[in-house]
Amino acid sequence: MNLAVISDLHLGAGGATDLFGHDDGEFLRFLGFLERNFERVVLLGDIWETLTGAVPGNPLAQLDKARAVHPEIARRFEGPMYSYVHGNHDLAARARGAPEELSFQADGVRLLMTHGHQNDVVVSHARLLSELGVWVGGWIRRCGFSALYQLLRRVDGMRGGASLDAASCSFQRWAVDVARLRSADVVVTGHTHIATRAEHGDRLFLNSGSCAQGNISFLSIDTANQAFSVHRSW
Each residue's pLDDT tens digit, 132-146: 888 888 878 878 877
For the chain, the domains span: 2-231
pLDDT value at residue 128: 80
CA nearest 10: which of 51, 39, 38? Answer: 51
Q: What is the pLDDT of residue 8?
A: 98
How high is the pLDDT of residue 202? 96
Mind listing the pLDDT tens digit for each residue in 45-67?
A: 999 999 999 888 899 999 999 99
pLDDT (tens digit per residue) in 98-121: 999 999 999 999 999 999 999 988
Tell me the CATH class for 2-231. Answer: alpha beta
Q: pLDDT value at position 51?
A: 95
Nearest residue to 84 via CA among 64, 72, 100: 100
* Residue-level pLDDT at 158: 61
**pTM recorded for the entire structure:** 0.93
pLDDT at 155: 67
Residue segments in the chain with a per-residue pLDDT below the cut of 70 = 155-161
Give me the pLDDT at residue 126, please. Answer: 82
